[in-house]
């Protein structure tokens, strides 16, 4: 079995209990987190051979992250123990008409400070058939950006497929003298699979897309396909937020010749939306790696994303049986 390799920062997420404000009471819940790690763990739980490339500090925090990934079934030989600092971020969950708020504390982390020439891509990419990256890594600064670009180019040079999730993080890009369009364009240029919507494509191409709904989305993906010759598939979701606990979500997968669009599902009583996009990416990748077509990939991605909204923390912890039960319908107790 060929290996799926994800590359990015693994972090700790800290959140106040329930729907409290940050430090309303002197307690924080902690989860291991990170977009690429979420995708890696979800795919491993779904039965895929998955490895992760990263760096964590050689202390209790870093070793806890390694233990977590190993428990999910992710190979961690590509994770170096180096530096002194674990990346952190704080999430205060919203409620009603109060939005969820994120505070980043990632500057100077072991991953962010890792020199771009310190990654052994010959070893890390051995036996790998797909490398997965996201736009969060290059948003961390010029050195992580150079590392992400080197990773994508190393995979492409070896004939390894590259998937890229846009994962726009404006707060991170704004912290340094960045060129998001120039950097992200270099990464998407090496990808055959992009997770992103018309807004991501508008950023990449420096243009807006008119119209509404499916027409606008197809116009955007056609423009992306024209601009990036290696790109073959674009997967996206459309989310309508009524209030923090009630969203409507649909999924779409476009290729150069066809489009697959799901019906909209209502997500009521949301426990935690953070990580939903990572779950969607994992579901799409899961279906495609099993030989599914665009329609199956859209359905599976939406299923895993919808299920993730029922869990606190960043990670999707679901197995194939959970996806099957969701797709079969019915919310009564399963006895």
For 313, left (φ over 0), alpha (ψ -120 to 50), or beta?
Answer: left
Calpha distance 22→20 (Å, rounded): 7
Q: What does each C-alpha distance from 135 to 37, 132, 148, 260 come to in angstroms?
A: 14, 11, 9, 25
The helix (run of H) or strand (run of E) holding residue 102 is strand 101-105
* Helical residues (DSSP H) of the chain, grouped into ranges: 35-45, 60-72, 121-124, 136-139, 142-157, 170-173, 180-188, 198-205, 213-227, 276-289, 294-308, 320-328
Q: Out of 49, 165, 272, 278, pick the active-site residue.
A: 278
Calpha distance 131→283 (Å, rounded): 16
List the structure tokens of 11.
């972090």
List the structure tokens of 9.
């920062």
Task: Tell me, yes or no, if 324 is annotated catalytic.
Answer: no
Contacts of 333 (CB under 8 A, 6+ apart): none
- The residues annotated with a catalytic role in the active site are 278
């Amino acid at each position: 079995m060929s290996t799926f390799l994800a590359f990015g920062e693994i972090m700790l997420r800290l959140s106040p209990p329930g729907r409290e404000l940050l430090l309303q009471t002197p307690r924080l819940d902690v989860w291991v987190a990170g977009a690429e790690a979420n995708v890696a763990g979800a795919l491993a739980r779904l039965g895929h051979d998955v490895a992760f490339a990263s760096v964590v500090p050689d202390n209790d925090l870093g070793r806890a992250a390694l233990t977590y990934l190993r428990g999910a079934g992710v190979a961690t030989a590509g994770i170096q123990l180096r530096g002194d600092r674990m990346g952190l971020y704080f999430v205060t969950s919203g409620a009603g008409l109060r939005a969820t708020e994120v505070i980043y504390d990632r500057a100077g982390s072991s991953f962010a400070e890792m020199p771009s020439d310190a990654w052994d891509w010959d070893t890390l990419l051995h036996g790998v058939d797909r490398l997965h990256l996201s736009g969060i890594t290059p948003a961390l600064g010029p050195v992580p950006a150079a590392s992400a670009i080197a990773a994508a180019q190393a995979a492409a040079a070896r004939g390894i497929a590259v998937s890229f999730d846009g994962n726009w993080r404006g707060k991170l890009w704004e912290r340094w003298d960045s060129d998001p369009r120039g950097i992200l364009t270099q990464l998407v240029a090496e990808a055959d699979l992009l997770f992103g919507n018309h807004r991501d494509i508008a950023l990449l191409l420096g243009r807006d897309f008119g119209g509404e709904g499916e027409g606008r989305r197809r116009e955007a993906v056609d423009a992306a396909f024209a601009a990036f010759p290696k790109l073959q598939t674009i997967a996206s979701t459309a989310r309508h937020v009524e209030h923090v606990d009630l969203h409507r979500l649909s999924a779409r997968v476009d290729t150069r010749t066809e489009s697959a669009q799901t019906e909209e599902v209502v997500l009521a009583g949301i426990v935690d939306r953070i990580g939903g996009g990572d779950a969607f990416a994992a579901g799409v990748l899961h279906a495609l790696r099993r030989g599914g077509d665009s329609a199956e990939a859209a359905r599976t991605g939406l299923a895993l994303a919808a299920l993730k909204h029922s869990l606190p923390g960043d990670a999707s912890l679901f197995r194939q049986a959970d996806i099957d039960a969701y797709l079969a319908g019915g919310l009564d107790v399963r006895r």
